[in-house]
Each structure stands twice: as structure tokens, then as C-alpha cells.
């Protein structure tokens, strides 16, 4: 649908994002569980593209949240580094998955 997208398509994407954000905020659910199927089913994106779009959005939001909490002094650096040391080696290689 991206190649022949109309003006309505570009209006519906931000509206859908806004509604998903509001619904996710009210319910405490992550927006990705709503937005990924919406991108795939409603907007006709392939599932890998829809997943990649939501992952890119989550990286940005997470980075902004970490920066803000860092500035407010809410981060226990020692605990965070312990989690980092333990979790990074356990992550599967994304290069092999592609």
C-alpha cells in the first residue's frame, strides 16, 4: 500500500498512532501489541516491516525515558550495569536471525 498511498493514508497513520497511544496509556498496555497488527492488517504492511516500525519507535521512546530518568536521578547505576552485564550476552544474535 505504500507505493500508491493516498492523502487519506497519511492522515490515518498519525490518527491511528494517537489513538493507540491514548488507549495504551489508559490501559497500561504497550502500544506495539495494538499498532503492529494495525499496520499489517489495516495499512497492508508486511508483518516484518510492521514489527520493525514498532521496534524503531520503542528504541526512541526508551532512549528518551532513560535520558529523562537519568537527569532526574532515578537510575540506580550499579543495578543497571549488573542487568546489562547479565542480559547482553544472553541476547540472541540478530545478524543470524536475518
**Tens place of pLDDT for every residue, the chain, 98 residues?**
455 567 777 888 888 888 888 887 777 677 778 888 888 998 888 999 988 888 888 888 888 888 999 999 999 989 988 888 877 776 665 555 54
Q: State how many domains the chain has.
A: 1
Q: Do the domain assignments include residue 98?
A: no
Distance between CA atoms of residues 64 and 70, nearest Å? 10
Distance between CA atoms of residues 82 and 47, nearest Å? 34
Q: What is the pLDDT of residue 93?
A: 58
Owning domain of residue 11: 7-89
Q: Do the domain assignments include residue 46?
A: yes
Q: What is the pLDDT of residue 91?
A: 62
Q: What is the pLDDT of residue 83?
A: 84
Q: Do the domain assignments include residue 96?
A: no
Task: Please tell me the pTM assigned to this model.
Answer: 0.60
Measured in degrees and rounded to the nearest 5, phi and psi for residue 50 equal -65, -40
Q: Do the domain assignments include residue 59?
A: yes
Q: Do the domain assignments include residue 1?
A: no
Q: What is the pLDDT of residue 46?
A: 92
Q: What is the pLDDT of residue 2?
A: 52
Amino acid at each position: 500500500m505504500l507505493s500508491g498511498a493516498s492523502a487519506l493514508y497519511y492522515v490515518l497513520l498519525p490518527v491511528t498512532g494517537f489513538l493507540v497511544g491514548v488507549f495504551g496509556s489508559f490501559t497500561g498496555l504497550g502500544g506495539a501489541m495494538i499498532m503492529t497488527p494495525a499496520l499489517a492488517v489495516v495499512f497492508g504492511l508486511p508483518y516484518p516491516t510492521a514489527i520493525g516500525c514498532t521496534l524503531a519507535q520503542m528504541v526512541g521512546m526508551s532512549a528518551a525515558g532513560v535520558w529523562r530518568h537519568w537527569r532526574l536521578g532515578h537510575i540506580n547505576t550499579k543495578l543497571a550495569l549488573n542487568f546489562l552485564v547479565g542480559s547482553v550476552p544472553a541476547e540472541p544474535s540478530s545478524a543470524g536471525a536475518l
